[in-house]
């Protein structure tokens, strides 16, 4: 075994970074045995050096991350700063100085993954990022390596813990969105500004990364259709229950039937209670992967948090250090298929639509005609009426999303339709 | 990209082997792109060359596996023969001739894993075996690599599809063991001689392999405590239901509280319906992993079958080929902790015990005293009596298995206890 240690620069020392530092210290012997050489925390770059950091030698702390990367003895950099800058520049600097990188930065990888991968490849270095998607759940490595001999056709996952916590609360207590959000905030599951979570931006970034891995193609953040879950109501949950469903915010990545294009989207959807994703509670994450040979796989675990994310970072650190010792590099970006990403209108899915309608004869016929005119086949209709008011709940068969939204637009124009109370996609047959 | 192909010898061409050959042919371009060089099926060693094999060039087929390995141009051997011999000798021969190996052979790895890993290590070659445990489910790689920076404390899994199918049938239909087994046999889920599955031998082999990976120690097949599930009755399922539980055949691997030893066992157990493993239906497998930093993870998917197992084999093939091209090798056996494996008596668990007792005053006191004398604390007791006969159902708190089995032995000797109707461990709090 080599005795000269591999040197690690830790960029960022917040919730995740401090856990990484703690585990590197407390489990140093295990890491040494698993890597085949000692690994040493050689420097910690932070914004606020005055903050007390338990267990971290103050002599290692610096505010000058760039100087740390340039000093010449660093083997691996761990980037747990988050956000675009300065993370992007620092990762690029690392590659320029022969330093492999482990990153937990989903926003950056979703936005600039291609350029960063290219920089790593050109320098013959590793860029690992298991922690960027679904926290502790091994997902990037299984999809990139275990399924490397298979063809992934579909990925459907709960990749945001905050929104799953809120939706689970709404489901189990009958609470409305605001009430459930307030509880999530009080318990620390939601941030003061929950926009990135509840509007689906966080999930969309993960969806872009996963789609790239699943389909060996490049999927940009802008390619991901995104709908948040702030409009999901207690009434929607009641409707879902009547259908034997619950509601989850899902990231769904699909290969088209002809294999020539892919789609990527994030939106709330009803899924049957019998689907494995339906029983994912609280802030847990889970990702369902359908591959041609492997069949249906699911990966489940904590999608966020300091220690779980640190676990994923350290797994990558061990791999990257092993590669360094072997003078090899792990698999880089695989984007050889270059499949186009189709717009949301091309996605084939099902709709659950609640309409407020006039309670008079002929309404159902008129509604049914509208569906037929748009080529959308109806699966079930439930009609409920009282006091001249009535509601129609229509569940469709699978149809292109464009045809479904065209139908809804036409329904809104019917005299007999007083309003469209809710529209939700139905997934997971 | 390199144009000279990597050459693969396929040893065995049964259900899994023929799927491997099929995918290597139909997905050759994808494999080339992912490996970085073409990969070529250079020979297929079989027992019965006369059997027609769709899509395999007859010129590749040979009955002399040894000569195939010795001919000098093979880079990787895929061993999908199963069983101990000739698989063991062939794998050893492969290593002697500079050939890395992908194997799906759980029996061999559980029995001779240490020697085979040592041979691979000495030759600087890879021995990959994702397919040996839980078929298509990425489990070996995530545990060995993704969690390489974490400390796994507990693994609990359903790793045998046949028995899960039988138990699921018993649970959902109220059928007895024999009836459910007959259905499994008729549907092809159980073999004509189901011993290896129903007596837990198959699960024990996987448990030994998983324990080795989880705890970085060597666990021999003989170290794994094993109980089959042929005694599980419809009455046990009724009892389980009353407790809000179901019954699964589980492989459970635990690190002792002091971290100084481990245990490995396979037996049927009651688990709460709220536990993620409770909802694993039909012949699916799932493995729950608890790690210090990552928390609770679960991996779910098809645990057997030609295509799923081939998916795992091909994932390994891609990795091993990539290592060959990089003139590197992947992680080998990690057994540096050398922890002792404690006997079943040291396992701390809970019991569910049904007793047939005399329906007279003082029986409960006598039974309770027996538990107390053995240091076993009672969680709940349910008493049911009619016509001079009565039953007592006792659920204990956690206690060493030795104390629990000592209690049961003492209970059997009590005059007032007419019989011990069933004993089952309760897991997954």
Of the candidates A141, A305, A314, which has its C-beta nearest B149's C-beta? A314
Query: How far does the CA of residue B313 sit from the closest CA of chain A (Å)?
Result: 8
Determine the average pLDDT of the residues in A343-369. Answer: 93
Confidence (pLDDT) at B289: 97
Helix, strand, coil in percent for chain B, rounding step 5: 40, 25, 35
Q: Is residue B215 within 8 Å of B341, Cβ to Cβ?
A: no
Q: Would you call A373 an interface residue with chain B, using a CB distance cutoff of 8 Å? A: no
Give just the sign of the alpha carbon dihedral B195, B196, B197, B199: positive
Q: Would you call B184 an interface residue with chain A, using a CB distance cutoff of 8 Å? A: no
Query: How far does the CA of residue A371 sit from the closest CA of chain B (Å)?
Result: 37
Report the residue of A34, A104, A139, A148 to disrupt the B interface, i.e. the one with the largest count of B CBs within 10 Å: A148
Specify if A374 maps to a domain: yes
Strands B378-386 and A61-62: unpaired
Percentage above 70 pLDDT, chain B? 100
Determine the average pLDDT of the residues in B62-91. Answer: 97
| Catalytic residue list of A | 206
- Is the preceding peptide bond at A231 cis, omega within 30 degrees of 0? no
Instruction: Looking at the structure, tell me whether residues A32 and A87 fall in a common domain.
Output: yes
Give A-chain residues touching B297 at CB under 8 angstroms.
136-138, 299-301
Specify if A176 maps to a domain: yes
Quickly state the pLDDT bin for B230 (edges 50, 70, 90): very high
- Cα–Cα distance between B22 and B15 in angstroms, integer? 11
Interval A225-235: pLDDT, tens: 999 999 999 99
Rounded to a whole number of angstroms, the CA Rg of chain B reads 24
Q: Would you call B315 an interface residue with chain A, using a CB distance cutoff of 8 Å? A: yes
Determine the average pLDDT of the residues in A330-358. Answer: 93
Instruction: Looking at the structure, tell me whether residues A85 and A151 fall in a common domain.
Output: no
Q: Would you call A327 an interface residue with chain B, using a CB distance cutoff of 8 Å? A: yes
Q: Return the H-helix or E-strand segment holding B76.
A: strand B76-79
Q: Do B294 and A307 touch (CB under 8 A)?
A: yes
Please identify, among A293, A325, A357, the residue that sits at the C-terminal boundary of a domain. A325
Q: Would you call A58 an interface residue with chain B, using a CB distance cutoff of 8 Å? A: no
Q: Would you call A326 an interface residue with chain B, using a CB distance cutoff of 8 Å? A: yes
Q: Do A319 and B148 touch (CB under 8 A)?
A: yes
Instruction: Looking at the structure, tell me whether residues B177 and B249 fall in a common domain.
Output: yes
Q: Return the H-helix or E-strand segment holding A363.
A: helix A363-373
Determine the average pLDDT of the residues in A120-148. Answer: 94
Query: How far does the CA of residue A137 sit from the closest CA of chain B (Å)?
Result: 7
B423 Rama class: left (phi>0) / alpha (psi -120 to 50) / beta? beta
Instruction: Looking at the structure, tell me whether residues A151 and A111 fall in a common domain.
Output: no
Confidence (pLDDT) at B4: 87
Give B-chain residues touching A295 at CB under 8 angstroms.
136, 301-302, 305, 307-308, 311
Asked if residue A116 has pLDDT above 80, the reply is yes
- Cα–Cα distance between A34 and A13 in angstroms, integer? 24
Asked if residue A23 has pLDDT above 90, the reply is yes
Q: Do A308 and B328 touch (CB under 8 A)?
A: no
Question: The CATH number of the domain where B257 resides is what?
Answer: 3.30.360.10
Specify if B164 maps to a domain: yes
Backbone angles phi and psi of A149, in degrees to 5: -100, 10
Please identify, among A266, A301, A336, the residue that sits at the C-terminal boundary of a domain. A301
Specify if A335 maps to a domain: no
Strand partners, B389: B358, B386
Give B-chain residues touching A259 at CB under 8 angstroms.
none
Asked if residue A407 has pLDDT above 80, the reply is yes
Q: Do B296 and A308 touch (CB under 8 A)?
A: no
Question: The CATH number of the domain where A386 resides is what?
Answer: 3.30.70.260
Q: Do A147 and B137 touch (CB under 8 A)?
A: no
Q: Would you call A298 an interface residue with chain B, using a CB distance cutoff of 8 Å? A: yes
Closest CA to B133 of B297, B287, B306: B287
Instruction: Looking at the structure, tell me whether residues A29 and A85 fall in a common domain.
Output: yes
Query: How far does the CA of residue B157 sit from the closest CA of chain A (Å)?
Result: 14
Confidence (pLDDT) at B54: 81
Query: How far does the CA of residue A311 sit from the closest CA of chain B (Å)?
Result: 5
Of the candidates B301, B315, B317, which has its C-beta nearest A296's C-beta? B301
Q: Is residue A388 within 8 Å of A359, Cβ to Cβ?
A: yes
Q: Do A317 and B149 touch (CB under 8 A)?
A: yes
Host domain of residue A394: 345-426
Which residue in the block uniquely carries the two structure tokens 């309770």? Answer: B368
Q: Do A33 and B301 touch (CB under 8 A)?
A: no
Instruction: Report the domain count for chain B.
Output: 3
Most distant CA atoms of chain A, gap in Å? 85
Kindly state the DSSP code that residue A342 receives in the 8-state scheme.
P
Instruction: Looking at the structure, tell me whether residues B215 and B267 fall in a common domain.
Output: yes
Instruction: Looking at the structure, tell me whether residues B317 and B351 fall in a common domain.
Output: no
Of the candidates A148, A315, A316, which has its C-beta nearest B319's C-beta? A148
Give A-chain residues touching B150 at CB under 8 angstroms.
23, 311, 314-315
Instruction: Looking at the structure, tell me whether residues A59 and A114 fall in a common domain.
Output: yes
- Cα–Cα distance between B131 and B106 in angstroms, integer? 8
Confidence (pLDDT) at A276: 87
Confidence (pLDDT) at A55: 81
Instruction: Looking at the structure, tell me whether residues A149 and A289 fall in a common domain.
Output: yes
Q: Would you call A296 an interface residue with chain B, using a CB distance cutoff of 8 Å? A: yes
Instruction: Looking at the structure, tell me whether residues B131 and B172 fall in a common domain.
Output: no
Q: Do B312 and A294 touch (CB under 8 A)?
A: yes
Average pLDDT score, chain A:
94
Of the candidates B141, B298, B326, which has its C-beta nearest A145's C-beta? B141
Q: Could you report the predicted ipTM of this complex, rounded to two decimals? A: 0.92
Instruction: Looking at the structure, tell me whether residues B298 and B351 fall in a common domain.
Output: no
**Closest chain B CA to residue A146:** B315
- Cα–Cα distance between A397 and A315 in angstroms, integer? 43
Closest CA to A341 of A203, A202, A214: A214
Interval B194-217: pLDDT, tens: 999 999 999 999 999 999 999 999
Please identify, among A246, A266, A301, the residue that sits at the C-terminal boundary of a domain. A301
CA angle B177, B180, B186 (to 5 degrees): 140
Asked if residue A221 has pLDDT above 70, the reply is yes
Quickly state the pLDDT bin for A179 (edges 50, 70, 90): very high
Which residue in the block uniquely carries the two structure tokens 């009836």? Answer: B179
- Cα–Cα distance between A269 and A283 in angstroms, integer? 17
Burial of A343 (0-12, 13-18, 19+ CB in 10 A): middle
Q: Would you call B329 an interface residue with chain A, using a CB distance cutoff of 8 Å? A: yes
Residues contacting residue B152 through CB under 8 Å, at least 6 positions apart: B143, B214, B215, B255, B289, B290, B291, B292
Q: Return the H-helix or E-strand segment holding B272.
A: strand B262-272
**Closest chain A CA to residue B303:** A294
The CA distances from residue B49 to A61, B58, B81, in Å, are 67, 9, 14
Q: How many CB pairs under 8 A join A and B?
A: 192
Give just the sign of the alpha carbon dihedral A165, A167, A170, A171: negative
Confidence (pLDDT) at B203: 97
Kindly state the DSSP code that residue B331 receives in the 8-state scheme.
-
- Cα–Cα distance between A299 and A137 in angstroms, integer? 7
Instruction: Looking at the structure, tell me whether residues B51 and B71 fall in a common domain.
Output: yes
Higher-pLDDT residue of A276, B105: B105
Specify if B184 maps to a domain: yes
**Both tokens assigned to A21:** 């530092």
Q: Would you call A340 an interface residue with chain B, using a CB distance cutoff of 8 Å? A: no
Specify if B17 maps to a domain: yes
User: Exactly one of B106, B169, B206, B248 is catalytic; which is it?
Assistant: B206
Residues 124..143 of B with a Cβ closer than 8 Å to A: which? 130, 136-138, 141-142
Interval B276-319: pLDDT, tens: 899 899 999 999 999 999 999 999 999 888 999 999 999 999 99
Query: How far does the CA of residue B288 sit from the closest CA of chain A (Å)?
Result: 9
Question: The CATH number of the domain where B82 resides is what?
Answer: 3.40.50.720
Quickly state the pLDDT bin for A1 (edges 50, 70, 90): low
Which residue in the block uniquely carries the two structure tokens 């945001």? Answer: A160
Interval B241-266: pLDDT, tens: 998 999 999 999 999 999 899 999 99
**Both tokens assigned to B327:** 């003139």
**Closest chain B CA to residue A152:** B311
Q: Would you call B322 an interface residue with chain A, using a CB distance cutoff of 8 Å? A: yes
The CA distances from residue B100 to B23, B85, B138, in Å, are 20, 18, 20
Specify if B335 maps to a domain: no
Q: Do B141 and A136 touch (CB under 8 A)?
A: no
Specify if B74 maps to a domain: yes
Strands B262-272 and B378-386: unpaired
Burial of A383 (0-12, 13-18, 19+ CB in 10 A): middle
Strands (E), A104-236: 127-128, 152-158, 225-226
Average pLDDT score, chain B:
94
Q: Would you call B293 an interface residue with chain A, using a CB distance cutoff of 8 Å? A: yes
Interval B336-368: pLDDT, tens: 999 999 999 999 999 999 999 988 888 999 999
Asked if residue B1 has pLDDT above 70, the reply is no
Q: Would you call B334 an interface residue with chain A, using a CB distance cutoff of 8 Å? A: yes
Closest CA to A161 of A128, A129, A188, A125: A188
Report the residue of B15, B133, B284, B294 to disrupt the A interface, i.e. the one with the largest count of A CBs within 10 Å: B294
Give B-chain residues touching A319 at CB under 8 angstroms.
145, 148
């Amino acid at each position: 075994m080599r005795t000269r240690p591999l040197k690690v620069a830790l960029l960022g020392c917040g919730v995740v970074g401090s856990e990484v530092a703690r585990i590197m210290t407390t489990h140093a012997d295990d890491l040494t045995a698993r890597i085949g050489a000692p690994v040493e925390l050689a420097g910690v770059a932070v914004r606020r050096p005055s903050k007390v950091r338990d267990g971290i030698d103050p002599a290692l702390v610096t505010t000058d991350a760039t100087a740390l990367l340039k000093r010449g003895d660093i083997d691996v950099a761990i980037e747990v700063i988050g956000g675009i800058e300065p993370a992007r520049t620092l990762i690029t600097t690392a590659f320029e100085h022969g330093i492999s990188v482990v990153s937990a930065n989903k926003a950056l990888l979703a936005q600039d993954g291609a350029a960063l991968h290219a920089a790593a490849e050109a320098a013959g270095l590793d860029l690992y990022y298991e922690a960027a998607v679904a926290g502790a759940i091994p997902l990037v490595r299984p999809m990139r390596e275990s399924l490397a001999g298979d063809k992934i056709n579909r990925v459907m996952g709960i990749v945001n813990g905050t929104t799953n916590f809120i939706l689970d609360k709404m489901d189990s207590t009958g609470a409305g969105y605001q009430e459930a959000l307030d509880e999530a905030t009080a318990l620390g599951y939601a941030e003061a500004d929950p926009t990135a979570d509840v509007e689906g931006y966080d999930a969309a970034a993960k969806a872009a990364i996963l789609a790239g891995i699943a389909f060996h193609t490049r999927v940009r953040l802008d390619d991901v259709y995104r709908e948040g879950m702030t409009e999901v109501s207690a009434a929607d949950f009641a409707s879902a229950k009547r259908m034997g469903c619950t509601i989850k915010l899902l990231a769904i990545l699909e290969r088209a039937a002809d294999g020539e294009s892919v789609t990527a989207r994030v939106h709330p959807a009803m899924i049957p209670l019998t689907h494995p994703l339906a029983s994912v509670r609280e802030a847990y994450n889970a990702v369902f992967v359908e591959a041609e040979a492997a069949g249906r796989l699911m990966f489940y675990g904590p999608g966020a948090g300091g220690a779980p994310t640190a676990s994923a970072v350290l797994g990558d650190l061990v791999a990257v250090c092993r590669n360094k010792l072997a003078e090899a590099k792990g698999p880089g970006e695989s984007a050889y298929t270059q499949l186009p990403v189709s717009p949301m209108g091309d996605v084939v899915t099902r709709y659950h639509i609640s309409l407020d309608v006039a309670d008079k004869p002929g309404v159902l016929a008129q509604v049914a005609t509208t569906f037929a005119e748009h080529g959308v086949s109806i699966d079930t209709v439930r009609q409920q009426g009282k006091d001249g008011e009535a509601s129609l709940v229509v569940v469709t068969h699978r149809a292109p999303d464009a045809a479904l939204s065209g139908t809804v637009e036409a329904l809104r124009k019917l005299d007999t339709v007083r309003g469209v109370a809710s529209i939700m996609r139905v997934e997971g047959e």
